[in-house]
Structure 1
């Protein structure tokens, strides 16, 4: 399993449009990918938009993305880069 931790810098947190792009990016991998909002302790499947939105990730919250499966290393690397560029 590969995991990364990222603190959200975007003023709006993880909101609808970029969250949809994040989910789409995650869906391109075969691995099982989860996202955890460390502040609330809630976890969701990163391939399900409504579940990600329900986490209510706000600016300053730290999230942990974990990927497990055959392409987990690539998934973690790509998703970390996506977070840095968009959130």
Structure 2
């Protein structure tokens, strides 16, 4: 099955990559994350398990949420366009 590559496809991939980079950066800037990674008083509350539990979910969420939004917008716009062309 051959697929056409257009601006929307490239834009969705670029947005997904940007989300996968921006989400961990935002996650690392949160005070709760800093406390878990050793920013608490005398390492109080230090818990490195967040690197194995939260970080992969943050990266996946940052990658898939923009992709989901773009897909929904394209589907909604495509559905309207096909109805208008058919009449």
Q: TM-score, normalised by structure 2?
A: 0.27
Structure ID, larger Rg: 2
Q: TM-score, normalised by structure 1?
A: 0.27
* Structure ranking higher in helix proportion: 2
* Structure ranking higher in strand proportion: 1
